[in-house]
Amino acid sequence: MAKADKPDSPPLDRDGDAAPSSPPLENKSGPDVIASYVKTLPMKPGVYRMYDAQGGVLYVGKAKKLRNRVANYAKSGGHTNRIALMVSLTRSMEFVVTATETEALLLEANLIKRLKPRFNILLRDDKSFPYILIKRDHAAPQLTKHRGARKAKGDYFGPFASVGAVNNTLNTLQKAFLLRTCSDSVYEGRTRPCMLYQIKRCAAPCVGYVDEARYGELVGEATEFLRGRSNLLRERLQADMEAAADALDFERAARLRDRLRAIAAVTTQQGINPDGVEDADVIALHSEGGRTCVQVFFFRAGQNWGNRALYPKHEADAEPETILSAFIAQFYDDKPAPGLILTSHKPEQDDLLSDALGLRAGHGVEIRMPRRGPKKELVEGARRNAREALGRQLAESRSQAQLLDGVAKAFDLDERPERIEVYDNSHIQGSNALGAMIVAGAEGFEKTSYRRFNMKGDDAATNDDFAMMKAMLRRRFARLAKDRGDGAAVPSLVLIDGGKGQLSSVLEVMGELGVEDIPVVAVAKGPDRDAGREVFHQDGKPPLRLPMNDPVLYYLQRLRDEAHRFAITGHRAKRSKQIRENPLDDIAGVGASRKSALLKHFGSARAVARANLADLEAVDGVSKALAKKIYDHFHD
């Protein structure tokens, strides 16, 4: 994560006044550094940041009165071991004054999530959640899944716990409401209905099989259903089906029957909540062995849209109420909170938290710890799930620790490797060359740390695996050599795919960059490339082959295979993108309209490339100068 931006001028409060800040006192102790700021701080709400000697962010906190809160850190004694260590490491601070404590809480959550300070409780693995989107920027609205910023115009429904839950719902929504899922470009290019119309999953508005008004009704019905009005919709469809049957319009009655079945399938899959919870999130926490699992269940429109387990990072002695408060603030930093949040514990400052979430969401938000009744049962069910998920993770962590101990023993490392980086590359005869790095540690694969390296220039123009590996490692470790003192992640072990040659190449690069203290192991495939007969090469040691049934061997194979999967997936995506690219895109002066005119005139980019100068000049909108430029581009 990038370090905090340290402004050249003091930060401003909401009224435009400079928030006081003193120069860092590098030769003073932590309490003295903090005390130097206290006298100049206002009795106003705000956010403070504590930095170490290297400029790394130690802690982000908020306060109702900045002077009083920061003064507590300057006192000697009375701190927990964690706070005492944090204070002792502090060498500078920064402050932002806010208008209210609510705004301070929102800013604090945002900064914690972005900066990931060492001493804060951190929400990890918070990947964005998928939504269902009905796009409203077209005469025939599109039904699609969405992840990320909500920039598209339309109605969003969610969040869902997983893409699988969204796909299942979309699948049955297509059957029930016959809305299109194709992109606008595909829609505009249709001259006859696609397969989805044939299998009764689309009304085919693209070719006019349903008029705009009727399609709008289908969109309205889908919107009603996703907002929880399924009972009224089913009653109306049931009445329409019976009326069609009475009128002997059996074909229409059959279509309505199929739609009713699809709606019933959606509600069955989503699990209609019997306890009357319309829009709520259920958040339950379980801690054990210094670790915590938080289960979040999503209920929207009276339907259960799945759950997800998250594992916040915190000190072993952190209280559940503190963990839950930090979790909720960060969890809803980039998503709107529902009107009701049911929790297993009462979060710290829950009233302030409710106000902050309501301010961001634009509606009232209640945080409640139910004491009895159906809602209490929902929370207990979520907490049971949290306990079981944490138990599984703890068991996996113990197993992972044993495997890492085995790796340390096999390669004669001084201690258990906390971060293993594995490198592989992929190309076809030098084309679309791409390198990949995956990371594994005490908690398994750390996918947020994965990286791909596009091979450019001389590196991309070769099918020399040695040169590609050297180029990739040079880029990775040149950055590490530069940022190592600033808290950059340093691998405990580097694994590369290859034999003695690749090992020598990598060691040469690491020697040039001065990072020779990191152990490197090359994994060579065995005879006939058989899995289980791999040979491991280390500098200055004889080749090593592990027993066929050794769990450590299986673990190392998994690491190598994951690196290969990540590399080949990136290579295929790069190759597919190149195939889709149009050579006309590389010609200056040929924009979208002229490209369209050329393709319409000649039929394909290949035909444009073969065209003579006179034919190019005959295209509407193409001048003689541009025609010459296009001709020269293909005949240089």
Q: What is the 3-state secondary structure (H, E, C) of 65-82?
A: CHHHHHHHHHCCCCCCHH
pLDDT-wise least confident of 346-350, 378-382, 604-608: 604-608
pLDDT-wise least confident of 2-11, 94-103, 434-443, 485-494: 2-11
Average pLDDT over residues 423-440: 74
Decide: 312 and 122 in contact? Cβ < 8 Å. Answer: yes
Q: Indicate whether 525 belongs to any domain.
A: yes
Q: Indicate whether 386 belongs to any domain.
A: yes
Average pLDDT over residues 220-245: 76
Q: Provide the pLDDT for residue 264.
A: 67
Q: Provide the pLDDT for residue 409.
A: 92
Q: Indicate whether 286 belongs to any domain.
A: yes
Angle at 161 between CA 182 and CA 278, to 5 degrees: 100
* Same domain (yes/no): 364, 310: yes
* Same domain (yes/no): 538, 434: yes
* Same domain (yes/no): 434, 571: yes
pLDDT tens digits along 256-266: 787 777 666 65
How far apart are the C-alpha atoms of 106 and 99, rounded to whole Å? Answer: 12
Asked if the model's pLDDT at residue 44 lies above 80, the reply is yes
Q: Provide the pLDDT for residue 582.
A: 65
Asked if the model's pLDDT at residue 563 lies above 80, the reply is yes
pLDDT-wise least confident of 153-162, 289-298, 600-609: 600-609
Q: Provide the pLDDT for residue 596.
A: 78
* Same domain (yes/no): 54, 171: no
Global pTM value:
0.65
Asked if the model's pLDDT at residue 551 lies above 60, the reply is yes
Q: Provide the pLDDT for residue 443.
A: 80
* Same domain (yes/no): 164, 221: yes
Q: Provide the pLDDT for residue 422.
A: 93
Helix (H), strand (E) at residue 198 = helix 195-198
Q: Provide the pLDDT for residue 8.
A: 38
Q: Provide the pLDDT for residue 272.
A: 45
Q: Indicate whether 261 belongs to any domain.
A: yes
pLDDT tens digits along 366-413: 999 999 888 898 899 999 999 998 888 887 778 888 889 999 999 999
* Same domain (yes/no): 373, 236: no
Decide: 415 and 405 in contact? Cβ < 8 Å. Answer: no
Task: Give, rounded to a whole angstrom, the gap between the first and last alpha carbons of the chain.
Answer: 46
Length of the chain: 636
* Same domain (yes/no): 537, 619: no
Give the C-alpha distances (Å, rounded to integers) separating 67 from 64, 352, 416, 600: 9, 20, 44, 70
Q: Indicate whether 1 belongs to any domain.
A: no
Q: Indicate whether 405 belongs to any domain.
A: no
Asked if the model's pLDDT at residue 310 lies above 60, the reply is yes
pLDDT tens digits along 124-152: 765 678 888 999 888 899 999 888 778 88
Asked if the model's pLDDT at residue 119 lies above 60, the reply is yes
Asked if the model's pLDDT at residue 581 lies above 90, the reply is no
**Start-end of H helices in 227-282:** 230-246, 250-270
Q: Which residue has the higher pLDDT, 611 or 258?
A: 611
- Name the band, by pLDDT with cuts 50, 70 and 90, for residue 624: confident
Q: Provide the pLDDT for residue 15.
A: 41
178-196 burial by CB neighbour count: b if 16+ within 10 A, else e? bbbbbeeeebeeeeebbeb
Q: Domain residues for 610?
A: 583-635
Asked if the model's pLDDT at residue 324 lies above 80, the reply is yes
Q: Provide the pLDDT for residue 2.
A: 36
Q: Which residue has the higher pLDDT, 622 or 5?
A: 622
Q: Provide the pLDDT for residue 490.
A: 87
Asked if the model's pLDDT at residue 116 lies above 70, the reply is yes
Decide: 135 and 142 in contact? Cβ < 8 Å. Answer: yes
Of 243, 270, 297, the domain-final residue: 270
* Same domain (yes/no): 324, 203: no
Q: Which residue has the higher pLDDT, 200 or 572?
A: 200
Q: Indicate whether 558 belongs to any domain.
A: yes
Highest mean pLDDT among 246-260, 503-517, 580-594: 503-517
Average pLDDT over residues 66-85: 87
Q: What is the CATH number of the domain that holds 595?
A: 1.10.150.20
Q: Provide the pLDDT for residue 470.
A: 83
The rounded mean pLDDT for the chain is: 82
Q: Indicate whether 44 belongs to any domain.
A: yes
* Same domain (yes/no): 597, 520: no
How far apart are the C-alpha atoms of 240 and 250, rounded to whole Å? Answer: 12
* Same domain (yes/no): 566, 587: no
Residue 425 three-state SS: strand
Asked if the model's pLDDT at residue 101 lies above 70, the reply is yes
Decide: 131 and 162 in contact? Cβ < 8 Å. Answer: no
Q: Provide the pLDDT for residue 604.
A: 74
* Same domain (yes/no): 424, 571: yes
Q: What is the CATH number of the domain that holds 551?
A: 3.30.420.340
CA atoms within 13 A on the CB side of 86: 22
Q: What is the CATH number of the domain that holds 343?
A: 3.30.420.10
Of 576, 607, 622, the domain-final residue: 576
Q: Provide the pLDDT for residue 235.
A: 74
Average pLDDT over residues 217-228: 82
Q: Provide the pLDDT for residue 1.
A: 34
Asked if the model's pLDDT at residue 427 lies above 70, the reply is no
Average pLDDT over residues 13-19: 41
Q: Which residue has the higher pLDDT, 601 or 429?
A: 601
Taking 3-state DSSP, the helix, strand and coil percentages for the chain, each rounded to the nearest 5, stand at 45, 20, 35
Q: Which residue has the higher pLDDT, 390 or 443?
A: 390
Map tokens 């889908």 to a residue: 222
Q: 10 Å Cβ neighbour count for 201?
A: 21
Q: Which residue has the higher pLDDT, 506 or 268?
A: 506
- Name the band, by pLDDT with cuts 50, 70 and 90, for residue 6: very low
- Name the band, by pLDDT with cuts 50, 70 and 90, for residue 564: confident
Q: Provide the pLDDT for residue 205.
A: 92
The count of structural domains within the chain is 5
* Same domain (yes/no): 430, 570: yes
Q: Which residue has the higher pLDDT, 636 or 212?
A: 212
Q: What is the CATH number of the domain that holds 72?
A: 3.40.1440.10
Q: Provide the pLDDT for residue 19.
A: 46
Of 576, 592, 610, the domain-final residue: 576
